[in-house]
Amino acid sequence: MEGIRALACALLIPVTLSYARPEAIETDSYDVLLHSRSVAEQRAALTAILQAPDAYVSRIRQNLLDYPTLLSSDWTAANRAVHVAALVRDTSFAPILLQLLKDSTVMEECEYACPVKFALTIYSAFASWKPTSPVDTVAMMPLRHAIRYASEIRLDSQPLDSVVQGPAVERNRKNIEGKSEEQLIAMAEALPSEGVPVWLVAAALETSVASSKNRIELYVLLMNEPEDDASREFRGAVYHAIYRAERAKLHSL
């Protein structure tokens, strides 16, 4: 009897130890990009994804298919997936994105600056994709307008007042005018600690980006859009800054 008890205890010990020392959950670059709050981690993750994009295509595709549901369960990850899809530009993404414009949940997210329309604009203006599938006219008109705008965008610097006006601009003008792209991006990443509204810094980028040197950094900014920006002013301004950077890249600037 004692021998049986000893054998039973010996069999139970490994099981007990396995529960006492659970294996760490492994994450990869794509998981980090979708969920990390660290800009440095996001930047490193995005660099890794762009070095071997094919390894992540199937997961990005699945997140696009799940986008309406993800908007409710994980808003940040949902929109980051669309924004990285705009950068990776696999040919299988565009038809999925186009179909998303038929979804009511997606259209609620698209009341202002729209991640799905942004991605499709990037595909059309800078990757030779053209919308061919029939989509509701209400959804298509703003998309076609955005495509035309991005396709024709100029890289000359514009006055800040051409895109924003008001007391906030006057209060902060001296803190943002004359800043380089790198300085503005650093300010946007550090805000609100410096006291300048983040949407205003993004507007300064919208009017001043003239090269592609900070293109990836602008996409990283998108990964950190403020959730409380109800009218998506920050998102919309960064979209326009990216259109400028993409245009510059197209012309090797």
For residue 113, the 8-state DSSP code is: S
Cβ–Cβ < 8 Å for 55, 45 = no
CA 31, CA 60: separation in Å to the nearest integer?
A: 11
| Domain spans, the chain | 26-152, 155-253
This prediction's pTM: 0.85
- pLDDT tens string for the chain (253 positions)? 444 444 444 444 443 333 333 333 347 999 999 999 999 999 999 999 999 999 999 999 999 999 999 999 999 999 999 999 999 999 999 999 999 998 999 988 888 999 999 999 999 999 988 876 555 566 678 888 899 999 999 999 898 989 988 888 898 888 888 899 999 999 988 866 557 888 999 999 999 999 999 999 999 999 999 888 878 999 999 999 999 999 999 988 8
CA 204, CA 207: separation in Å to the nearest integer?
A: 5
Checking 156-163 for CB contacts under 8 A at 24+ apart, the result is: 156/210, 157/207, 157/208, 157/210, 158/207, 158/208, 159/207, 160/203, 160/204, 160/207, 162/207, 163/203, 163/206, 163/207, 163/237, 163/240
């000359």: which residue's tokens? 156
- Closest alpha carbon to 189 in 229, 231, 236, 223: 223
CA 137, CA 159: separation in Å to the nearest integer?
A: 34
